[in-house]
Structure 1
Amino acid sequence: MSYRRKIVQFLIASLFLVYNSAFASVEAYLLGPGDRILITVYDEPDLRTEVKIDKSGLVSFPFLSDIQVVGLRTADVEKIITDGLRGDYLVNPQVSVSIVVYRPFFIHGEVKKPGSYPYQDDLTLDKAIALAGGLSPRASKSKWNITRVVDGKTVVVKANITSYVMPDDIIEIEQSFF
């Protein structure tokens, strides 16, 4: 196999992995306290509900008992509500759950405006830094960490400008000594 062909295959494989990891991060979003969700049932305006998820993680929905939504994807909540409404209340309910407001992420250290900012889909560290007004003159160009909870455990991830940021992440931009 030619050198050029190997390079092309490598580039295609790399692009595929980047695309899939970006898509997976959006698909894998788990609901948590602070998210605001909108639940709608097609052709049933009385069942439209918008609610902010509190620390208990429970969401009330008409005709159903409280639903524990923390740690679930929107598709999981759609299925729970669809299954709960089917039969006794509706023949074929068409349920949609969407996130209206994501919980925030936090950025501190050597940025111009540290604080909390609303999460956005496909948020990378370079975009988060831009939301915080950019790097301060004393900011390190490489010592960036993201603290996040993964499977109930707090982990610190060394980050770069292409690292994905998730809600509740704490980003630390360290000071440069040179």
Structure 2
Amino acid sequence: MALSFLALAGCGVQVSRELPSVGVVEYRLSPGDQLHLEVFREESLSGDYVVNDAGAITLPMAGDFLVTGKTLAQARAELEALLAGGYVREARVNLTMAEYRPVFILGEVTRPGEYGYAQRMSVHALVAKAGGFTYRANEKVVYIRHALEGEETAYALTSAAAVMPGDTVRIGARYF
């Protein structure tokens, strides 16, 4: 196993021992996420909003509200404070995920492509959605490009390895 990591390091791919486990990573909002907003007694503000490429949602009256990089709880608290600061009397806000960005899987799986993200999704769950590994798949290493990073990183594939919305996962071929 150690030799495979050394071989990968020589190929210019950053190697990490393990991906964070499912449920360990706190989700941060990013462009493409769809949020459901409910503002108590303000139906004109309530509805579904897509985080735009600038990382904001556009609200009637209040304009653009930056959410990228924030957790749902942080965004909710800041939005409640913004609305209470002159837009809505006694603002009470509920902010939930309406839809996550999709995840993508490439390489040695039966049906590579785009798949809907499910909360606490693991690499193995994504591989199962894609029809499983092909006979040539390297089932010990996974390559992931996280949505907000440009670089693909190699990780040891464990049963609890987490996938996040917007990730591109690649299963490489094993060499006999």
Structure 2 partner of 1:36? 34
Would you say the 8 A contact 2:37–2:95 is kept in 1? Answer: yes
Structure 2 partner of 1:137? 135
Question: CA separation in 1, counterparts of 2:89 and 2:48?
Answer: 23
Per-residue deviation at 1:67? 0.9
Structure 1 partner of 2:46? 48
- Structure 1 stretches of at least 4 aligned residues deviating more than 6 Å after TM superposition: none
SS of 1:67's equivalent in the other structure is strand
Matched letter for residue 41 of structure 2: D
Question: CA separation in 2, counterparts of 1:112 and 1:100?
Answer: 29
Task: Indicate how the Cα distance of structure 1 residues 157 and 95 shifts in structure 2: closer, same or farther if over 3 A, else same.
Answer: farther
Per-residue deviation at 1:58? 2.3
Structure 1 partner of 2:165? 167
Per-residue deviation at 1:43? 3.1
Would you say the 8 A contact 2:104–2:167 is kept in 1? Answer: yes
- Structure (1/2) with the larger helix percentage: 1
Matched letter for residue 123 of structure 1: M
Task: Indicate how the Cα distance of structure 1 residues 90 and 110 shifts in structure 2: closer, same or farther if over 3 A, else same.
Answer: same
Structure 2 partner of 1:109? 107
Question: CA separation in 1, counterparts of 2:136 and 2:173?
Answer: 6
Structure 1 partner of 2:80? 82
Residue segments in structure 1 that go unaligned for 5+ positions in a row: 1-20
Per-residue deviation at 1:22? 4.2
From 97, 115, 129, the counterpart of 1:99: 97
Per-residue CA deviation, residues 125-163 of structure 1 (Å, 9 max, x unaligned), is 11010111111122122132222256x563514131320
Would you say the 8 A contact 1:58–1:68 is kept in 2? Answer: yes
* TM-score scaled by length of structure 1: 0.77
Task: Indicate how the Cα distance of structure 1 residues 39 and 148 shifts in structure 2: closer, same or farther if over 3 A, else same.
Answer: same
Q: Percent same amino acid among aligned pairs?
A: 29
Larger Rg over CA atoms: 1
In the comparison of the two structures, how many residue pairs are matched?
Answer: 156
Equivalent positions of 1:15-26 (< 5 A) are: 22-25=22-25
Per-residue CA deviation, residues 15-54 of structure 1 (Å, 9 max, x unaligned), is xxxxxx64442xx211111111111112322221212222
CA RMSD across the alignment: 2.2
Structure with the larger RCO, 1 or 2 (CA within 8 Å, 6+ apart): 2
Residue segments in structure 2 that go unaligned for 5+ positions in a row: 1-20
